[in-house]
Amino acid sequence: MSNGKNFSGVDLFSGAGGLSLGAEWAGIDVQYAVELDKSASLTYKKNHSSSLVLNEDIARLDKNSFPNLDNLFILFGGPPCQGFSTSNQKTRNNSNPKNRLYLEFLRLVHELKPVWVVIENVQGIYNFDNGKIVRKIVDDLNSCGYRSKKTILNSVDFGVPQKRKRFILVANRHNIDFEFPQGNPSFVSVGDAISDLPELQNGDMKEECNYIDCKLSNYMKLMRGKSNMARQNYVSKNSELVIKRYAYIGQGENWKSIPKELMTNYKDMARCHSGIYKRLNNNEPSVVISNYRKNMLIHPTQDRGLSVREAARLQSFPDDYIFEGSISEIQQQIGNAVPPLLSKVIFSRILEYE
C-alpha cells in the first residue's frame, strides 16, 4: 500500500456500519454514509464520528449530495437484500421494489466515478432471475470502464465465528485482474467468541456487566480491545412456554428435539425451518446471525435467547461498538450487518494493489 494517498470512501446502504468499520480498520477514510433507517443511521453516527451520515432515500441523492468529495477512491455498499434471499420465498421476485435499489447504486457509480467499487449481498443474488441481476451489474460497470470480479466468501474462513456466505463483487478502473483473499481453514468457535460474556436471564436488560473471569481466546481479546465491561447485555423476554421448549434442546439441535405436545400451536411441523429453535454449539462456529430473535436462536448453555452483545460478538463487532434504537431494532441491525472482520479482509486486499 502506498503512503500519502487519500483512500476516501462512501458507504451506501450502510446499515449499522459493518462494512465501514472493516474499511476503516483497513485504512479507508469513510467520508460519507447513506442509510434510510433512522435507528441504523444513529448507530452509524455513534460509532463513526468522522463520517457524515445522510439519513436519506438514495433515490433523492446525486453527486451534489456529497460536497468536497473529489477523486473518490472507493464506493461500496450492500443494497437491501431481502428480495434476493433464498430464505425469503414470499417476495423473492422481480416485483419486490427493494430488488431495484441496486440500480440506484449503479447510478451513483456513474456520477461519482470512484476508482474502486465493492458490492456486497446475500449469496442468493448470484442465481436470482437466472443470474440476470449479476450480469446486468457487471455489464453496466464494464460499460463505464470497470473490470469486475465476483465470488462467494464465507465469513467463517476469515476469523468470524459464524458460517455466513456473502456475494462480493469488486470492480476497478485500473484494469486490474483482482484476486480475492484466500481463507483460513481453521475457525473461531462460539465458545471462543462469547464464553467470557456474563450469565444472563430471559428478559435481562443490563447496560453494563463484568466479564467472566476465564482464559481469554485471541478472539475475545480482539473483541474486548480496551473495554473493561460488557455493554448492552439485552435479552428478549420470551414466554414461559418458549423457555420450557429451550430446555429440551441440546447444543447443535433444533425444534425437532422439542416434545410435540409443546408445539401444538404450529399447524404444520413439516414446514418448520431447520434454523428455528437452534441452540448454538460451543465447539462450532455459529449458524447465520440474521433475525436471531425471530428464529429463536438459543445460547449454548443457558436457556435463553442471545443477548445483543453476544450476537454482536458473533458478527465480529467489538465490545465498544454501541447500537442505538429499541432492542428489536438493534437485533435487526446486527442481523443485517456485514461482519467487520470479513469487510476488513476485502478492503485490505484492495489496498494491496495501490
How many alpha carbons lie under 13 Å from residue 204 in its C-beta half-sphere? 21
**Coil, strand or helix: which one is 153?**
strand
214 catalytic? Reply is no
Contact between 75 and 9 under an 8 Å Cβ cutoff? The reply is: yes
Residue 6 per-residue DSSP state: -
Query: What grid cell was written down for 326?
Result: 429499541
Beta-carbon contacts of residue 293 (< 8 Å; ≥ 6 apart): 236, 305, 328, 331
Got the DSSP string for 101-143?
A: HHHHHHHHHHHH--SEEEEEEEGGGGTGGGGHHHHHHHHHHHH
How many alpha carbons lie under 13 Å from residue 256 in its C-beta half-sphere? 9
- Encoded amino acid at 128, one letter: F
Determine which one of 81, 144, 209, 214 is catalytic: 81
Q: Which residues are catalytic?
A: 81
